[in-house]
Structure 1
Amino acid sequence: MTTRVATETFPMPDGSLGARLTMTAGRANSLEPGLLGDLASALDEAEAQDTSAILICGGRNFSSGGDVRAFHRASLDGEAVAYANAVVPRLQAIVGRLIAMPRLVVVAARGAVTGGSAGLLFAADLAVLAPDAFVQPYYAKVGFAPDGGWTALLPERIGAGRTLEWLQSDRRLDASALCDAGLATAVSDTPEMTAARLAAEGEIGTRLATKALVWDEARRARINARLEAETAAFLERIVQPDTALGMSRFIERIGS
């Protein structure tokens, strides 16, 4: 059976294993149910192997977020809520899982990191970006409510005010600006190699203890409640007439 996430292990200095998960789906790794299911399964496998670090990578584009065309088709068929329920809760579960797991989570990204896929970046402990990498919400253009932790997790990273401004302005932040915001560690022409090197530096026990202290039970509970609120808002917005119009206009702009 074809998987949309390729997995391989690599050695860590302390003798443990790291797992590299590379998303390989079509349409620039759109967050469709199949990809999200394969990513969750790859995380299961990495945990079963008791890896101490997980490196999440993409291709030329890390991920373009939710597939607007698929949402639009579902909307035309009267299945918008059903399709959203097959996508958004899976994404939210992965975001919550990444901050909770006792493993170092590192992202290496090239190209687009847009919409809900940015949640994988927000949930990472470290991130390395290629010079062409960028993050843009796109919610205001399409009409979706934010998902993937844009309102649940990002305020914990950069503050509520900066989060609100970014979502309202729908600005595109490049790799350098993302480093300045504290959402990435470095810019590299070889982000995967640099990310693997950074994952191997330092005493892993201390790094995981630090992660557990930052993402403690109380903070995770607040974030999980906000993730649930994001899901509810997404389901409410997906059936609104202005959202259907926004999807149509967005598809027209990007072409077939």
Structure 2
Amino acid sequence: MKVRAEAGAEGVFRLTLSGPRANALEPGILREFHAGLDALDASGADRAVIAGGRNFCSGGDVAAFFRAANPEAHADAVVPLLQDALRRMVEMPVIFAVAARGAITGGGAGLLFAGDLAVLAPDAFVQPYYAQVGFAPDGGWTALLPERTGAGAAQDWLLSDARASARDLVQAGLAREVQDAPEDRAAEMLAGMRIAPALAAKRLIWDGARVAALTARLEAETRAFRALIGRPETREGMARFLGEGARADA
């Protein structure tokens, strides 16, 4: 099992990622995440913690894209599932708290951006890596992040490929607290929350017009990702990232 979905104490549902390669985003884990969202919806819970073990999520599996005989087809099996999961998180009448440790990279950061609040361990960090690998941004880096930080800050982060620490993320408004036990703290915060006004605020912020714009931007990310993934320079970037430069022409 790559995603564990379970009802927790005090009405707090839990979704825990436990896939290989630091919860790399591949079709299996994404399908299970959608199944977890289905279970959450069926449970009637209105608050949920998303956690991910020692490393929250390392984003797309670069090695899988590098090995794929048809990288566009592999992108079609991965990116739309991720993008739709983020849209669902935004639209669901649930307050999502992300509790993250270690790496939150590439498209995996979309789960942080789509969450309603976050608690991070001291070792947590976010880094895009798109500029290094050569992928177009997915996971809401251009669809969700500008809503949180502003368009200029989001673009600068993608261009610089900077690594943001847990403290940096709190300063940027992308996380609420840094705690040694983020999972426990996130659940505590949700359990103590007055849920009706919290859900009302979420609905008002993510109204029909904003959700429609988000959906269009996520779809644009998907098209851009697919357009770049098969290019020779992208393959070369993947090879360098994986330390397989000698195999770039394989």
Structure 1 partner of 2:54: 60
SS in 2 for 1:135: strand
Residues 1:233 and 2:224 aligned together: yes
Map 1:44-55; keep pairs closer than 5 Å. Answer: 44-55=38-49
Q: What is the distance in 2 between the residues matched to 1:41 and 1:161?
A: 35
The residue type paired with residue 80 of structure 2 is P
SS in 2 for 1:34: helix
Output the aligned Cα RMSD: 1.1
Map 1:142-153; keep pairs closer than 5 Å. Answer: 142-153=133-144
Q: What is the distance in 2 between the residues matched to 1:38 and 1:72?
A: 23
Evaluate the alpha carbon distance shift between residue 253 and residue 114 of structure 1 in structure 2; reply closer, same or farther with a 3 A threshold. farther
SS in 1 for 2:56: coil
* TM-score, normalization by structure 1: 0.94
Q: What is the distance in 1 between the residues matched to 2:192 and 2:162?
A: 33
The Cα offsets for residues 43-78 of structure 1, whole Å up to 9 and x where unpaired, read as 10010011111110001000100000000001xx2x
Evaluate the alpha carbon distance shift between residue 249 and residue 132 of structure 1 in structure 2; reply closer, same or farther with a 3 A threshold. same
Residues 1:219 and 2:210 aligned together: yes
The residue type paired with residue 160 of structure 1 is A
Structure 2 partner of 1:154: 145
Structure 1 partner of 2:248: none
The residue type paired with residue 226 of structure 1 is R
Structure 1 partner of 2:242: 251
- The structural deviation recorded for 1:11 is 3.1
The Cα offsets for residues 190-232 of structure 1, whole Å up to 9 and x where unpaired, read as 0000000111123111110111011111011111100000000
Structure 2 partner of 1:170: 161
Structure 2 partner of 1:126: 117
Aligned length: 245
Q: What is the distance in 1 between the residues matched to 2:184 and 2:244?
A: 35
Q: What is the distance in 2 between the residues matched to 1:219 and 1:193?
A: 32
The residue type paired with residue 107 of structure 1 is V
Aligned equivalent of 1:4, options 2, 5, 17: 2
Q: What is the distance in 2 between the residues matched to 1:181 and 1:205?
A: 26
* TM-score, normalization by structure 2: 0.96
The residue type paired with residue 150 of structure 2 is G
Gaps of 5+ in 1: none
Q: What is the distance in 1 between the residues matched to 2:40 and 2:143?
A: 25
Residues 1:89 and 2:80 aligned together: yes
SS in 1 for 2:162: coil
Gaps of 5+ in 2: 246-250
Residues 1:38 and 2:32 aligned together: yes
Q: What is the distance in 2 between the residues matched to 1:95 and 1:137?
A: 17
Residues 1:28 and 2:28 aligned together: no
- The structural deviation recorded for 1:253 is 7.4
The Cα offsets for residues 143-190 of structure 1, whole Å up to 9 and x where unpaired, read as 000000000010010000000000000000000000000000000000
The residue type paired with residue 175 of structure 1 is A
- The structural deviation recorded for 1:18 is 2.0
The residue type paired with residue 111 of structure 2 is L
Structure 2 partner of 1:137: 128
